[in-house]
């Protein structure tokens, strides 16, 4: 009972801290909006599948709004449980992106707060536990996608919840801990298979520790480890079954919209490989945590391997975590050319290293006064928060309240984000704001061509209609795209651009709707399009 009350006290404090950080980081800026920069492409794909579930598509037959070249809309990647549940909720209360954002955000807060119980048990300090949780919540890439529509932060949160339940099972002999671990670990890996790196790191550390260090865990937790092993084997079987089905499903409908395989470094030309490497080092890694912190933690991990104060299991965990980091980079190297949200899967490495640092901080700095250690920690976490604050405000509004070039963000990164938000403001944001008006003109049964959307589903999802986009007609002229889409049944062309650009578009005489840069052209009045 006393421990329970202490946990409640900690959770309330932590919840208050996280709420303060939520406002500090500017989450409220776009909580009630549709997909925004960057990666509207991926966000809209997720929302498009959700939208089609709202329209009644079966769970095992996910579809998007894009009509593929073969006439199908079928496509699948990760296990669509979140899309399905949200789609069913939308079918009852109406389409609302806020609910999707809220679900993702609440799951992350819940994961951090529950996992704090585990951290508190080992650190035996509420202060250090809160510092650790703030560190976890202050990764720019995590908070940038925490309330968005992609599956990575949801999988991250489910990993934390699974960690809480396995702790309850091992330490407190709670059967619900085993069940919770199975459910949430399975969902985490099904939703994002790359999250398996977390589990494999801990499993690998356990196996090597047992092989070389007298089977300590096995002797102490033999029955529990057997049960956990059985549950995880079942998890792997379910994950394998799902991805077997996903590959079969995409093959059946000849869909290549989503990747269901690795993107390894050896498939990339040498010049492109070098370009991605420097992009990771100079730009992308700074969105995991500040690059100084990233490299400092990795150096700490290497040094800790030779420290007598670190026990063997933690050393193996460091080896496996850093090994998982580099394995992940090698196997999915190609995605890091632009897909920054793949960094979320490797945040656990830095979280593990920072936890070990806090766990052994008094041993490392025994020659220092405790007050000096705590003061240094406070300055450290303030630096982490300021970095996250700057990155989040640049991302959410392109108008950060605090910018320190070459310390938190470089000028080129700030300028890039300003361009992203400017382009969004004059194009997609305008389309989102006028979507209800446009839907009155384009009926649900009408098929459309989104002539300036190079993604599969951004404009199609925004307008709630099925059809084609320039994604399908990459390399085609505007005329060729319009002619082909018309033959396939398209009635309207949606175009975003200036008046000068609009004048160059063929078959644009019949304007059904126009607002600023938005033009809707009606193809029906034409007797012949060729």
Element (H, E) at 63: none
Contact status, residue 111 vs residue 94, Cβ threshold 8 Å:
no
Q: Nearest 5°: CA angle at 115, between 83 and 225? A: 95
Those residues whose C-beta lies under 8 Å from the C-beta of residue 416, and which sit 6 or more positions away, are none
Contact status, residue 178 vs residue 228, Cβ threshold 8 Å:
yes
For 361, other C-beta atoms within 10 Å of its C-beta total: 19
* Both structure tokens of 346: 């490797």
* Both structure tokens of 256: 């290549």
Nearest to 434 by CA among 508, 510, 520: 520
3-state SS string over 5-50?
A: HHHHHHHHHHHHHHHHHHHHCCHHHCCCCCCCCCCHHHHHHHHHHH
Nearest to 155 by CA among 167, 143, 146: 146
467: three-class secondary structure by DSSP: strand
Question: Alpha-carbon distance 36 to 147, whole Å?
Answer: 11
pLDDT along the chain (530 residues), means of 10: 61 95 92 92 97 98 97 96 98 96 97 97 95 97 95 98 96 91 98 95 92 74 89 97 97 92 91 94 93 95 92 94 94 92 96 96 78 92 94 75 62 87 94 97 97 97 98 95 96 96 95 97 90
Question: Alpha-carbon distance 96 to 367, whole Å?
Answer: 56
Contact status, residue 451 vs residue 431, Cβ threshold 8 Å:
no
Question: Alpha-carbon distance 64 to 70, whole Å?
Answer: 14
Q: Which residues pair with 74 in a beta bridge?
A: 63
Q: What is the pLDDT of residue 497?
A: 96
Torsion sign (Cα): 266, 270, 275, 279:
positive
Question: Alpha-carbon distance 431 to 459, whole Å?
Answer: 8
Element (H, E) at 119: helix 97-123
Q: Are strands 467-469 and 511-515 parallel, antiparallel or unpaired?
A: unpaired
Question: Alpha-carbon distance 66 to 89, whole Å?
Answer: 23
In the block, tokens 């490989």 appear at: 273
Q: Which residues pair with 63 in a beta bridge?
A: 74
Q: Strand runs (DSSP E) across 414-489, as ranges?
A: 447-450, 467-469
Those residues whose C-beta lies under 8 Å from the C-beta of residue 22, and which sit 6 or more positions away, are 28
Nearest to 339 by CA among 150, 101, 160: 150
Nearest to 151 by CA among 49, 67, 73, 66: 49
Q: Which residues pair with 522 in a beta bridge?
A: 492
Q: What is the pLDDT of residue 260?
A: 84
Q: Which residues pair with 416 in a beta bridge?
A: none
Q: What is the pLDDT of residue 3?
A: 54
Q: What is the pLDDT of residue 399?
A: 56
HSE of 272 in the Cβ direction (CA atoms, 13 Å)?
12
* Both structure tokens of 403: 């910018």
Torsion sign (Cα): 224, 227, 233, 234:
negative
Secondary structure letter of residue 32 according to DSSP: T
Question: Alpha-carbon distance 351 to 198, whole Å?
Answer: 11
Q: What is the pLDDT of residue 409?
A: 81
494: three-class secondary structure by DSSP: strand
pTM over 0.75: yes
User: CA separation (Å) from 298 to 87, 326, 352, 373?
Assistant: 42, 12, 11, 20
Question: Alpha-carbon distance 324 to 198, whole Å?
Answer: 8
Q: Which residues pair with 513 in a beta bridge?
A: 520
């Amino acid at each position: 009972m006393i421990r329970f009350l202490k946990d409640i006290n900690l959770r309330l404090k932590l919840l208050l801290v996280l709420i303060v950080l939520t406002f500090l980081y500017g989450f409220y800026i776009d909580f009630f909006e549709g997909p925004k920069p960057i990666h509207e492409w991926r966000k809209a794909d997720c929302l498009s599948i959700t939208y089609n579930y709202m329209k009644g598509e079966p769970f095992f037959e996910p579809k998007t709004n894009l009509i593929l070249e073969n006439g199908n809309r079928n496509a699948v990647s990760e296990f669509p449980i979140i899309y399905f549940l949200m789609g069913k909720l939308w079918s009852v209360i109406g389409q609302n992106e806020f609910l999707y954002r809220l679900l993702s955000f609440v799951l992350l807060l819940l994961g951090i707060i529950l996992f704090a119980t585990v951290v508190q048990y080992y650190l035996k300090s509420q202060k250090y536990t809160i510092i650790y949780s703030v560190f976890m919540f202050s990764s720019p890439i995590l908070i940038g996608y925490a309330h968005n529509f992609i599956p990575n932060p949801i999988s991250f949160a489910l990993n934390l919840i699974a960690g809480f339940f396995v702790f309850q099972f091992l330490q407190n002999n709670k059967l619900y801990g085993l069940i919770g671990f199975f459910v949430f670990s399975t969902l985490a890996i099904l939703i994002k298979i790359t999250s398996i790196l977390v589990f494999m790191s801990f499993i690998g550390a356990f196996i090597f520790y047992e092989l070389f260090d007298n089977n300590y865990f096995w002797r102490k937790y033999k029955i529990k480890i057997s049960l956990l092993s059985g549950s995880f084997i079942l998890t792997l079987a379910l994950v394998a079954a799902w991805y077997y089905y996903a590959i079969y499903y995409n093959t059946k409908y000849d869909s290549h919209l989503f990747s269901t395989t690795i993107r390894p470094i050896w498939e990339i030309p040498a010049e492109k490989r070098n370009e991605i490497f420097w992009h990771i080092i100079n730009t992308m890694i700074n969105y995991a945590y500040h690059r100084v912190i990233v490299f400092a933690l990795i150096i700490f991990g290497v040094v800790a391997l030779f420290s007598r104060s670190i026990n063997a299991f933690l050393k193996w965990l460091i080896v496996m975590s850093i090994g998982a980091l580099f394995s992940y980079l090698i196997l999915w190297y190609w995605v890091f050319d632009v897909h920054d949200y793949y960094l979320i899967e490797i945040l656990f490495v830095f979280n593990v290293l920072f936890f070990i640092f806090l766990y052994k901080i008094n041993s490392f700095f025994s020659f220092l006064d405790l007050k000096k250690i705590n003061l240094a920690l406070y300055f450290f976490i303030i630096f982490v928060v300021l970095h996250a604050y700057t990155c989040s405000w640049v991302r959410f509004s392109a108008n950060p309240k605090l910018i320190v070039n070459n310390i938190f963000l470089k000028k080129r990164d700030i300028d890039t984000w300003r361009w992203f938000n400017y382009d969004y403001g004059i194009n997609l944001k305008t389309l989102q704001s006028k979507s209800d008006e446009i839907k009155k003109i384009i009926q649900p049964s009408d098929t459309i061509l989104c002539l300036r959307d190079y993604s599969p589903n951004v404009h199609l999802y925004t307008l709630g209609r099925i059809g084609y986009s320039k994604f399908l007609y990459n390399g085609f002229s505007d005329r060729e795209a319009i002619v082909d889409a018309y033959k396939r049944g398209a009635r309207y062309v949606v175009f975003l651009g200036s008046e000068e650009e609009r004048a160059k578009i063929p078959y644009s005489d019949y304007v059904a709707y126009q607002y600023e840069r938005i033009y809707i052209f009606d193809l029906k009045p034409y007797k012949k399009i060729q």
